[in-house]
Structure formats: structure tokens, C-alpha cells
Amino acid sequence: MQNVNALFRLDGKLALIAGAASGIGRAAACGLAQAGAIALCADVDEQGAERTAAEIRREHGAAEAFALDITDEAMVERAVQGIRAKHSRIDALVCTPAVNVRKPLLDYSADEFDRVVRLNLKGTFLIARAVARVMRDMKSGSIVMVSSIRSVTTEPGQGVYAATKAGLVQLARTFAAELGPAGVRVNCIAPGVVETPLTQPIKIRPEWYNAYANKNALGRWATADEMAGPIVFLASEASGYMTGAVLFVDGGWTAIDGRFQPPV
């Protein structure tokens, strides 16, 4: 009989986490390390990545840290080739960096549009492409991209961000289709409202913060740590027959109307 508990373990696996300095990236790095992976913590904030790696070494296991700007194609290629030369493999990639410029589309500048698309969509593509080439040669591996509830539902001020998160879903599906024959899986998680540095401008406005909390079935925001379990699941063999999928981790946001509690 198969040992189900063992399916969630990542002992001896090498996991690269982009955006590991804070938020969901930090939580993912710690969660993967707790599951036994060697965590490679990468971030444009090198000191933040090192803090995450130091925490992992102190509490969970093995970790390394280095600076990485996923929008810099040459830097991404150097980093991935360096990992390949040192470790000979990359078993899992989790890519979390994102930015949002909240304003109506009619007020968006071309530079702001490029900034959001460049990081959220192009940056994810660049690192996924580089790592996928390693995994293709290995004939195994799991890539986890971070989409959002905004891939299927939006609101004023979220247009470009939502477009990138929807684009990530199709990017992941296409990677999944192309890499499936090589044994490489590619999936997305789609978080709801999560308390991270990206959402700090909402938290400081109680009416906005509470409205979002009351929109979902659980009536609260998620912590970044609550994203770690789904990410470990998608990185591990527990999800071995999942690829091209979107796992919503949204407290029921996309399942319910949420605007009114009818007297039933």
C-alpha cells in the first residue's frame, strides 16, 4: 500500500523560490524546507532572502540565498545555470513576485502598464522558461506559479493586474501542455486576499479591509503561511497527476456571492 504521508515529503529535493524575502514567497520557502527540501531563496532584496534562508537553517533545514531580478533575462539565465552547475538539478520552482498599480484604466500610463506586465507576466515567464529547460532534461519537476482570484473576477482599479494574473493561468497551461511529455508539471495557486506587503495599503483602511474579509465564506483574510500547504502539495508527488490546474486558495471568495446574507 502506498504511503500517503510520504507523498507530501520533499526530502533531498531542490526547490527554487523566487520572491523569498517576504510574503507568500517567504512562507513557501519555509514550508518547502519543513517538507524536507533544500530551499534556494532568491529575491531582488538579497538581504531579505538571506533572512529567510537564515531562518530556515536555524529552524527547518538547508537553505541558500542570492539576489535575483526575474525581469533581467541574463541574470535569470546565469542564476539557473549556476544552480545546475552546483546542484545538477532543480526539482521545484515557486515564483511569487508581483506588483500592482491600483488606478482606473483610463488613468493608466504606458509606463505603469509595462511595469506591471514586466514583473508579473514576463518575469514569471523568464524564470519558468529557464528552469523548465533544466527540468525537461531531468524528465521531472514541478513549477508553481502564483495567479490570483483576479484571474477570474476583478474590480475597478485592478484591470492590468487582473490581466497579468489571467495571463499566468494560460501561460501555466501552455507550459503544462508542452512539458507534460517530459514528465514536468506546471500548476497555479490562486490566492484570495492575503496579508502581505503588497496588500498593506488595504489593511490600513479598515472599511476596505473589512469589506474584503466579509466577501469570502470564512469571513477573514488569509495569512501568507496559509499558502505554504497548497504550494507544498503542488510541488510534491501528492499532486503527481495534476498539471495545467489552478488551485483556488481564497476562503471561498470565488464560490459565493458574498454581498448579502439572505434570511434563510
Residue 98 covered by a domain: yes
Domain assignment of residue 264, yes or no: no
Q: Taking phi first (over 0 means left), then psi (-120 to 50 degrees means alpha), and beta for anything else, what does residue 125 get?
A: alpha
Sorted by sequence, the CB contacts under 8 Å of residue 227 that are 6+ apart come out as: 24, 27, 28, 189, 191, 194, 249
How far apart CA 63 and CA 252 sit, in angstroms, is 34
Pick the closest to residue 69 from 14, 113, 24, 124 (CA basis). 124
**CB 90, CB 60: distance < 8 Å:** no
- CA dist., res. 146 & res. 28, Å (int): 11
State the pLDDT at residue 110.
98
Catalytic pick among 161, 209, 212, 241: 161
Q: What is the model's pLDDT at position 258?
A: 73
User: For position 52, what pLDDT does the model report?
Assistant: 98
Instruction: Give the pLDDT of residue 64.
Output: 98
Q: Give me the number of domains the chain comprises.
A: 1
Provide the pLDDT for residue 263. Answer: 79
Q: Is 241 a residue of the active site?
A: no
Q: Residue 51: inside a domain, yes or no?
A: yes
Q: Is residue 262 part of a domain?
A: no
Residue 128 lies in a domain: yes
What per-residue confidence (pLDDT) applies to 257?
Answer: 82
Tens-level pLDDT at each residue, the chain (264 residues): 678 889 999 999 999 999 999 999 999 999 999 999 999 999 999 999 999 999 999 987 899 999 999 999 999 999 999 999 999 999 999 999 999 999 999 999 999 999 999 999 999 999 999 999 999 999 999 999 999 999 999 999 999 999 999 999 999 999 999 999 999 999 999 999 999 887 888 888 999 999 999 999 999 999 999 999 999 999 999 999 999 999 999 999 999 987 777 777
Full domain range(s) for residue 70: 4-247
Alpha carbon distances (Å) from 131 to 30, 80, 239, 243: 20, 7, 19, 16
Kindly state whether residue 253 falls inside one of the protein's structural domains.
no
CATH code, domain with 160: 3.40.50.720
> Quick check: is 256 in a domain?
no
Domain annotation covers residue 188: yes
The whole-angstrom separation of Cα 61 and Cα 63 is: 7
